Amino acid sequence: MDTLTRQRGEGSPEPGAAAPRLDGATARSGITAPEPDGTAGRQVDRIAGVGLLDGRVVDVDIAGGVVVAVTDAGVDTTGGSGPVGPAVIDGRGYMALTAPAEPHAHLDKALSWGATRPPGCDLGAAIDAWRAFAVTVDEDEIHGRALAAARRLVASGTTAVRTHVDLHREGDPLRGVRAMVRVRDELADVLDLQIAVMVRDEDPAERARDAIAAGADLIGGAPHIAPDTAAETHRLIDLAEELGVGVDLHVDEFLDGDHGMLTAFTDRVASWEPGRIRTAGHCCRIGTMDASGQSAAATALSGAGVGVVTLPVTNLYLQGRAECTSTPRGLPPVRALLDGGVTVGAGADNVRDPFNPVGRSDAIETAMLLVIAAHLDMDTAWHLVTDGARDVMGLPPAGPAPGRRADLLLVRASGLDDVIADAPVDRIVLRAGRMVSARASVLVDPFLTQTSTLTQASTHPPDLQEAP
């Protein structure tokens, strides 16, 4: 069972209402969003008998959206008063983990693979396929896919997302931004959603100002696509400074040469006040440097307070396609960056769109890839998709410890190795102390009954049928 609450407000369905029908392209791809029901959004007062990463089995008490106590399971330290409220989750067999955060998504592009079908698999083919599709979509179409993608993230355990969103060439250039603002409003009770607007070199400054005025939080962009990468980097940072917002740029998403972007970026933001968002996504080129170059890059990034986001599933797909021998991985040297004091998070980037045809909208998938492709130990990999991602996003600490926000992922497992290796289906997700999703695998009887016929039977599993 998947459950997901939605904001109760003007124009928003009550929990239990059917999800909006998805656009045709999404429906054809067989993807539906988790359905809300009446149990979602319920306040949780205690999680009883749940395991922690350190092996302890504890009771976790929650009040006001924050973890207020973590005590050995069954040991009453309240003087007989018990939990702070009556809503107790049976956590036996589960582990309580910090809920993941997704620091770099493209919800406006997500789940469009079925409709776009790029003829090639490299970045150029993906861009061409997306641009051809983008002229055909309106705000509602973008909203439908983005909402579905966001719900899939929540159902997997993610309670905070930063999405990038395109400005459009034809028609209303802000329709993607408006769609993301709608998703942010509709999911306000279940998800922290940050919006970075992708400003291209062809976009006049006024369009970027309009996007921030329409609700975008950050200036984004991919200056390496511009003819003069360094100049475009400076222009975007000028815009952010003028508008008083942070930046999240696609930095060095390539493997050859130095386009001067990394130095321009770190030089410009080094003087920014603490706490102002400055994020460098991808940073693939740093992975091609020798050890001294990597160390120098780490020193510059750390000194400038830049948070780096590595995106294994998409960059493993996109990068290195020209190399038939010793194919590069397309990842920054995560271990070297961490050793150099850089704040690092990890995300998925594109999911089932022209830039990446696969992806499960599941941070556990990203953690698994970090173990395999970035050679991280499992604790560090999990840190990058949880605490590291939240740090990059400027979010307060969360997790099963007193004083932290009660954004928690309960997953049926006995250790982090079970979590990352198995990606268990059974998960309960809390955001600020409220349950926003709960699901479990079930056994089924696949045999037809004596009275049924094949023509009466569905040819698809129930969870792949179209939304009602």
| Site of interaction with Zn ion (CB under 5 A) | 349
Q: Give min distance, CB of 288 to Zn ion, in A.
A: 19
| Shortest distance (Å) from residue 220 CB to Zn ion | 8
111, 109, 107: which is closest to 191 by C-alpha?
107
Residue placing its CB nearer to Zn ion in the complex, 203 or 349: 349
Whether the CB-CB separation of 393 and 387 falls below 8 Å is answered with no
Residue number, 279 or 386, with CB nearest to Zn ion: 279
The C-alpha atoms of residue 430 and residue 63 are separated, in whole angstroms, by 13
Closest approach, Cβ 283 to Zn ion, in A, equals 12
CA distance 44 to 64: 10
CB of 192 or CB of 353, closer to Zn ion: 353
Angle of helix 175-186 relative to helix 139-156, nearest 10 degrees?
40
Cβ closest to Zn ion, residue 349 vs residue 407: 349
Taking a C-beta distance cutoff of 8 angstroms, is the pair 3, 40 a contact? yes
Q: Distance between CA 224 and CA 230 in Å, rounded? A: 8
- What 3-state class would DSSP assign to 116? helix
Nearer to Zn ion by Cβ, of 163 and 437: the residue is 163
In the complex, minimum distance from the CB of residue 206 to Zn ion, in angstroms, rounded to a whole number: 24
Element (H, E) at 94: strand 94-98
Closer Cβ to Zn ion, 34 or 312, answer by number: 312
Give which of 377, 307, 227, 394 is closest to 298, Cα–Cα: 307
Beta carbon of residue 468, minimum distance to Zn ion (angstroms, whole number): 33
For the bound state, the minimum distance from the C-beta of residue 181 to Zn ion, rounded and expressed in Å, comes to 19
Q: How far is the CB of 107 from Zn ion (least distance, A)?
A: 11
Q: DSSP letter at 358?
A: -
Distance CA 413, CA 364 (A): 13
Q: Which is nearer to Zn ion, 123 or 179 (CB)?
A: 123
Nearer residue to Zn ion within complex by CB, 46 or 250: 250
| Angstrom distance (rounded) from CA 259 to CA 455 | 60
Minimum CB–partner distance for residue 27 and Zn ion (Å): 25
Q: Are strands 57-63 and 66-72 parallel, antiparallel or unpaired?
A: antiparallel
Judged by beta carbon, residue 59 or residue 349, the one nearer Zn ion is 349
| Cβ atoms of residues 409 and 429 within 8 Å | yes
Give φ, ψ of 439 to 5 degrees: -145, 155
| CB-based contacts of 442, cutoff 8 Å, min separation 6 | none
CB of 253 to Zn ion, least distance (A): 8
Helix or strand (DSSP H, E) at 195: strand 192-198
The nearer residue to Zn ion, 200 or 404, going by C-beta atoms, is 200
Nearer to Zn ion, 60 or 374 (CB): 374
CA distance 253 to 381: 21
* Cα dihedral 404→409→411→413 (10° resolution): -40
User: Least distance (Å) from Zn ion to the CB of residue 216?
Assistant: 15
Residues 6 or more apart whose CB falls under 8 angstroms from that of 320 comprise 255, 327, 328, 329, 330
Q: Which of 25, 30, 16, 22 lies closest to 464 in space, CA to CA?
A: 30
Alpha-carbon distance 138 to 128, whole Å? 18
Q: In this chain, which residue has its C-beta nearest to Zn ion? A: 349
**Smallest separation, CB 311 to Zn ion (Å):** 7
Q: Which CB atom, from 102 or from 139, has the smaller least distance to Zn ion?
A: 102
Burial (CB count <10 Å: 0-12, 13-18, 19+), residue 325 = exposed
Distance in Å, CB of 223 to Zn ion, minimum: 13
Cα 425 to Cα 152, 161, 388, 438: the distances in Å are: 13, 21, 24, 10
